[in-house]
Amino acid sequence: MLIKKAPDIASSEITPERLYVRRREFLRAAGIGVAAVATGVVGGRRPAEAGQTGQDLAITTKMVTTGDEKVTPFDDITTYNNYYEFGTGKDDPARNAGNFKPKPWSVKVGGECAKPGEYTLEDILRPHPIEERVYRMRCVEAWSMVIPWAGFPLGDLLKRFEPNGNAKFVEFETVMRPAEMPGQRRQILPWPYREGLRMDEAMHPLAIMAVGLYGKTLPNQNGAPMRLIVPWKYGFKGVKSIVTINFVREQPLNTWQQMDSNEYGFYSNVNPSVDHPRWSQASERRIGEFFKRPTQMFNGYADQVASLYDGMDLRRNF
């Protein structure tokens, strides 16, 4: 593959400390616990060992957004997955993702921005301190987990590409590798898997690009080397193994909406009062627990994100 040399990313584009502090104030005001941890590399710039799964990550900050809810065990997070590129069974990704190679990796950035190009994963990760964030993950299938992701704010990355005024949405695609991904040899979904966000959603401080979990780089079945996490939306917005980022003018069509637009919409915000046509979304089963628990509006993140949707009919824009 011919790799176009991307324009260098200037150090002035690295997230200013000021912005970082503002984000922490925002999260504190929202009642979210933030703690700096002494890892010996606080504020450090040590990048993730790009693409090697199970490597230790240097975490600079820890944030818990789930109160005293129990964190889901590592074994459940890494063996009960949705990743149709590796099969449709929950245990298929863990069994079939062993031959997937998340290294070397590069991401093609394009569309309405000043800095399009092909960036290596190392280029992408270099300026971003890795934070641990414990988020609820609510699958549209009405089960949920609590996951200690490692990653960095998606907005900090997107800003580096200098999206212009025409960039109203951002679109992401998963890698296309039928030789390593058995599910892609069958027309289970229209490949490659695609997802999108409105720009203000993408810039929201809770949206992250995840590169690890439980303090280590991502296992293949969880989307190595880099995947999206948008905790107030259903899990399917969290597109895995990202190779394309496009800034676009029009609302993009995501894979599940393309599959059936009566069942899956663009916004896909967790909403207990808007049922899926085939099942209720009012409650969920936390993996590892027997009794169901009520699902919370915006997955419990309403205080932080509800204002993004002021004046919108969330029944129509599901």
Ligand X SMILES: Nc1nc2c(c(=O)[nH]1)N[C@H]1C(S)=C(S)[C@@H](COP(=O)(O)O)O[C@H]1N2
Which residues form the interface with ligand X (CB under 6 A)? 81-85, 137, 139, 174, 193, 222-223, 235-236, 238-240
Answer for the pair 86, 181: CB distance below 8 angstroms, yes or no. yes
Q: Which does 193 bind (CB under 5 to 8 A by kind): Mo ion, ligand X, none?
A: ligand X
Instruction: Decide whether 131 or 195 has the Cβ nearer to Mo ion.
Output: 195
Q: Which does 85 bind (CB under 5 to 8 A by kind): Mo ion, ligand X, none?
A: ligand X
Q: Which of 135, 152, 236, 301 binds Mo ion (CB under 5 A)?
A: 236
Q: Which does 84 bind (CB under 5 to 8 A by kind): ligand X, Mo ion, none?
A: ligand X
Instruction: Decide whether 140 or 145 has the Cβ nearer to Mo ion.
Output: 140
The continuous run of DSSP H or E covering 111 comes out as strand 106-111
- Using CB atoms within 10 Å of the CB of residue 316, give its burial: 0 to 12 exposed, 13 to 18 middle, 19+ buried: exposed
> x/- binding map, residues 80-119, to Mo ion, per CB under 5 A?
--x-------------------------------------
Q: Which residues contact 71 (CB under 8 A, 6 or more apart)?
A: 134, 146, 147, 148
Q: Which does 222 bind (CB under 5 to 8 A by kind): ligand X, Mo ion, none?
A: ligand X
- Using CB atoms within 10 Å of the CB of residue 34, give its burial: 0 to 12 exposed, 13 to 18 middle, 19+ buried: middle
Instruction: Decide whether 283 or 307 has the Cβ nearer to Mo ion.
Output: 283
Q: Which of 235, 238, 252, 300 binds Mo ion (CB under 5 A)?
A: 235
Instruction: Decide whether 24 or 90 has the Cβ nearer to Mo ion.
Output: 90
**Residue 37 tokens, joined:** 């941890």
Q: How many CA atoms lie within 13 A of 107 on its CB side?
A: 29
Q: Which does 205 bind (CB under 5 to 8 A by kind): ligand X, Mo ion, none?
A: none
Counting residues that bind Mo ion (by CB under 5 A) gives 5
Answer for the pair 30, 81: CB distance below 8 angstroms, yes or no. no
State the nearest-atom distance from the C-beta of 156 to Mo ion, in Å: 26
Reduce the DSSP state of residue 213 to 3 states and report it. Answer: strand
Instruction: Decide whether 6 or 139 has the Cβ nearer to ligand X.
Output: 139
Instruction: Decide whether 40 or 277 has the Cβ nearer to Mo ion.
Output: 277
Nearest-angstrom CA–CA distance, 11 and 251: 32
Phi and psi torsions of 194, nearest 5°: -135, 145
Spatial CA neighbour of 245 closest among 159, 311, 179: 159
The residue with its CB nearest to ligand X is: 235
Place of tokens 């966000």: 197
Residues 133-172 that bind Mo ion (CB under 5 A): 139-140
What are the residues binding Mo ion (CB under 5 A)?
Answer: 82, 139-140, 235-236
